[in-house]
Amino acid sequence: MVRILRNPNFKATSKCCLKAVQKEFVLNVRMHNENEKKNISIGEARVGFIVTKSIGKSVVRNRVRRRLRAAAYETIRSHGKANRDYIFIGRKHTLDCSYKTLTYNTIRALKITKSCQEYNSN
């Protein structure tokens, strides 16, 4: 998996994407277009994380980001699909829940976005 670090990639994902809203986070998923498929290695998923200042000071934001990163990497490897961008937007409840709940909700969000993509493609 590759990290999304540049602002245009975040904006493109937020404009045309599928969303899965959970109590702990919001997951945005977007399929790569043909130009991006040429520039990215084949079958590569990209992951990005957004944690805003409204959640708390830097220590709290970093803790939220670390928890989301750990849950995302664990679940996207097993349940994610290639050639997609995954953007996780952190919320305050990310700190309160257990890690098991966080990974379960991440899997649920991935399944929601998969079912929406299959529905939209038909």
What is the rounded CA–CA span in Å between residue 120 and residue 122? 6
Choices 3.30.230.10, 3.40.50.1820, 3.50.50.60, 3.40.50.200: CATH for 2-113 = 3.30.230.10
Per-residue confidence band for 5, with pLDDT thresholds at 50, 70 and 90: confident
Alpha helices in 1-122 (DSSP H): 7-15, 34-39, 58-79, 93-96, 99-121
pLDDT at 2: 83
Res 21 pLDDT > 70: yes
| Residues 24, 102 contacting (CB under 8 angstroms) | yes
Per-residue confidence band for 116, with pLDDT thresholds at 50, 70 and 90: low
pTM for the model stands at 0.85
Q: Please state the domain extents for the chain.
A: 2-113
- What rounded mean pLDDT belongs to the chain? 85
Per-residue confidence band for 43, with pLDDT thresholds at 50, 70 and 90: low
pLDDT, average across residues 71-95: 90
The count of residues in the chain is 122
